[in-house]
Amino acid sequence: MSPSTWETAFLAYFGYPQAHEHDAEQAVRAGLALIDRVGRLESGGGALASRVGIATGLVVVGDLVGTGEAQERGVVAKRRTWQPVYRKWRHRMRYWSQKSTRRLVGDLFDYRDLGAVTIKGLAEPVVVAQVLSESTIESRFEALRSAALSPLVGRDEEIQLLLRRWAQAKGGEGQIVLISG
């Protein structure tokens, strides 16, 4: 194999050994930084290129396996959900993420939708998007909460109470409502 066709894979876990609310965001930012910095490196035949794929999901980390420098944690995940996507688009794009990751990072980044990919062995197609850059949205709150709000399920009585208090406030009676949760 010639150096121009060499491929090396690197797998990083964000949220291990301790999960944080912004792990998916940090993974996307790290991917963008990696692509930028690797693109600046020179090899004997010109600039190097990199590809990044991000998948979000349940991962089970187990005991140490192997010995010496080959020792690592045993990890079980649905890796096959991202490998076929990577193989399909690796020569056409630099960076992609699954819908589950996009849901976690909201509109903090600009994307190009790539549609759904059917993967053998999975009942549902995997929806992917290309990450283009960080977005220019001004409010972090808006970026993370731009999707439709979750419905209030089983809160009919509370909603009616809020509506009554709102009507009283509009009628000139001062009201205070504390919402917690």
Q: pLDDT, tens digit, for every residue of 27-75? A: 888 988 888 888 888 777 777 777 787 877 777 777 777 787 777 777 7
Average the pLDDT over 138-144 and give the result. Answer: 77
pLDDT, tens digit, 9 for 90 and up, residues 84-124? 656 665 555 556 667 778 788 888 888 888 788 777 777 77
Percent of the chain surpassing pLDDT 70: 78
pLDDT over 90 at 76, yes or no:
no
Task: Quote the CA–CA distance of 57 and 63 in Å, as a whole number.
Answer: 20
Task: Please give the pLDDT value at position 31.
Answer: 87
Question: Is the confidence at residue 155, as pLDDT, over 80?
Answer: yes
Query: From CA 116, how far away is CA 124, in angstroms rounded?
Result: 9
Mean pLDDT rounded to a whole number for the chain: 76
Between residues 108 and 13, which one has the greater pLDDT? Answer: 108
Instruction: From residue 49, give the alpha-carbon distance in Å to each of 5, 43, 81.
Output: 11, 10, 23
pLDDT band at 1 (very low <50, low <70, confident <90, very high): very low
Query: What DSSP letter does each residue of 78-141 carry, written as one string?
Result: -GGGTHHHHHHHTTT-SEEEEHHHHHHHTTSEEEEEEEEE--TT-SSPEEEEEEEEE---S-HH
DSSP 37: H
Q: State the pTM of this model.
A: 0.64
pLDDT at 80 > cutoff 60: no
Please tell me the predicted confidence (pLDDT) of residue 164: 93
Alpha carbon distance 128, 54 (integer Å): 10
